[in-house]
Structure 1
Amino acid sequence: KTKIIGFSGSRWYNGNINQYTEEQMARFVGKMRFTLWRQKGVDLVLTHAPPRFIHDAEDRCHRGFRIFRQFIDKYQPPFLIHGHIHALFAGDEERITRVNSTSVINSYGHFVCQI
C-alpha cells in the first residue's frame, strides 16, 4: 500500500488564493503529524512548491518552503515531487536532486517515474 500526502499552494507573493506564508504552511504540515505517525511515515509527497533551496529561486513567487525541507529530514520519504518551477531540462539528472534518502523531483511539463 503506497502512502501519499500532498500540500497545495506556493509562497505568498501577491495575495491571490493558494498562496501561503512559511508559518501557514508549517501549520498545514504540522496538522499531519498524527496521521504520519499512525501510518508509519509516507512514501510519496506531492507539492506545488519545492522545498527551500532545492530547485527554487530567490524571487518571492518561486521561493520554496523551508518546512518541506524539514519534512524531508524528519520523515525521509522516498519521493517528493513538486511543480511550480518552470525550467527546461537537458536530462532527468537536472530535475532530480537527492536529499539523504529522498529523491526530490521537479515535475514541470511531465515526468514519469517508477515508485
Structure 2
Amino acid sequence: MDCIELTGIRCYGYTGYLDEERVLGQWFEVDATLWVDLAAAGNSDRIEETLDYRQTIAAIQKLVETSKFALIERLAEAIAQSILESERVTRVKVRLSKPNAPIPNFNGKISVTIDREKAIEG
C-alpha cells in the first residue's frame, strides 16, 4: 500500500499531566504516516483522486491546539482516529513528541508512536 508522510507538524497545545501544562501550554511535534491508495492520483494527476493533506494537517493542528488531555497517548489516539475518518485512509501511524517536557534536569524529547488500522466491516 502507498503512503503519504506528514512530518514536522509543530503546534502549541495544552495537553499534559501537570496543571500548568494544561494552562500555560507547550510545543508539540507530530509526524504521521497515512496508508492511502495513490494509484488513481498517480495516473490522473488530479487532487480529487488522492487525500488532500492540507486538510489533514489543519485537523491535526486544531486537535493539538484545542485539546486538554492529561496524556499525550490520548492526544495521539485522538489524532489517529481523526485521520482514520477519511474514507481514503486505511491505516495511520502517529508519532507525537513533547520536545521540552517539564521534567527537571531532562533536556530530551518524549515521544509516543501509535499505529492504527481502520476496522474491517462485515
TM-score, normalization by structure 2 = 0.31
Larger strand percent: 2
